[in-house]
Amino acid sequence: MKYVDEYRSAALVHQLAAAIARTATRPWTLMEICGGQTHAIVKFGLDDLLPKTITLVHGPGCPVCVTSAELIDQAVALALHHGAILCSFGDMLRVPGNGIDLLTAKARGADVRIVYSPLDAVTIARENPAKPVVFFAVGFETTAPANALAVLRAEREHVVNFSILTSHVLVPPAMRAILGSPENLVQGFLAAGHVCAIMGTGEYGPIAREFGAPIIITGFEPVDIMEGILLCVQQLEAGRAEIANAYTRAVRPEGNASARRLVEQVFEVCDRDWRGLGVIPQSGLAVRPAYAAYDATRRFPLERTTAAGATECISGAIMRGVKKPHDCPAFGTRCTPEHPLGAPMVSSEGACAAYYRYRHRLGAAAVPAA
């Protein structure tokens, strides 16, 4: 398939791996931000092709994984105690909160529905005018335009029983938080190409310069990722820390102007509690007061919940790049996709789920043949 097969070329991947090996003269630790990139790295065994001097750690690039337990508790409460039809993408249903998850709420009689677009939830609200309908709006900058569009459509069509429970998070503030942490190990980033396709690249240059960490805008196929690693290592070896766009087929410096206007119209920047990272200032999106009628947190009396006690799950350390899934003593034994202790084992973009799927049973991912 054009524009896919060529980015999975084993020959190109091995050429890039050889170039990385020639370039790296000392140890470097890089973090890929996106969970989709993590799955590609583990599935295709890209980290096994790298020299021992290059370490890849996995960032908080799974929006399901970083959604706070409190917001999940509120989603459960909306469905169980406020009579709402709670609409969500499927990978949110089994993520544990401080109490039960949405799938358990559904088993107890709550009306929890899987949708494939926030606009599906608007349709459900239109078809059920006597019931409140809430869409659990989770995601990075990539899903924010569609959620903003759902609010605007509900307003235009006078669908007054529709609202959203917002859990949007922003990538650049999380990168700052990771780089500024005393425990930080990250020296360079592979940034998420789809986020930059929406928001552009303007926020990344100042971060790279401030922390001396190259940021390479990277795609999601094996060749994309290996090229991003090579460009990052080249900068580190040369003592440079700049932003570079290795995903020019999808990313322009200005991003998508129409999508950005939608986001800015409906949402405003706010502080956000990231699961595993804590509260990061100015790292989330909240519904603007002008659209308060479509904000579930304003329409319903939702209680604050306290965090559950400490568990053996180390997902926070994994998402901060301090540890890897196989460092967890519960990985693959007490924590599995069927019985997860933490969100990264549940989500299709979670690092633990990637390691379990591709490496737990087979021992190692298949390395592309030359």
The whole-angstrom separation of Cα 216 and Cα 138 is 25
**Confidence class of residue 313 from pLDDT cuts 50, 70 and 90?**
confident
Question: Structurally, what CATH architecture does the domain formed by 5-62+171-245 represent?
Answer: 3-Layer(aba) Sandwich (3.40)
State yes or no: pLDDT of 362 exceeds 50.
no
Could you tell me if 35 and 211 are in contact, meaning their C-beta atoms sit under 8 angstroms apart? no
Provide the pLDDT for residue 365: 41
> What's the pTM value of the predicted model, to 2 decimals?
0.91
Considering only residues 188 and 2, tell me which one the structure prediction assigns the higher pLDDT: 188
Separation of first and last alpha carbons in the chain: 20
- d(CA 55, CA 51) in angstroms, rounded, equals 9
Q: SS3 letters for 129-144? A: CCCCEEEEEEECCCCH
Phi, psi (degrees; rounded to nearest 5) at 271: -70, 150
Among 228, 211, 207, CA closest to 219:
228
Give the three-class secondary structure for 179. Answer: helix
Buried b (16+ CB within 10 A) or exposed e, 194-204: bbbbbbbbebb
Task: Please list the residue range(s) of the chain that carry CATH number 3.40.50.11750.
Answer: 5-62+171-245
pLDDT averaged over every residue in the chain:
92
pLDDT at 292 over 90: yes
What fold characterizes domain 64-169+257-299? Rossmann fold (3.40.50)
Domain with CATH 3.40.50.11740 in the chain: 64-169+257-299
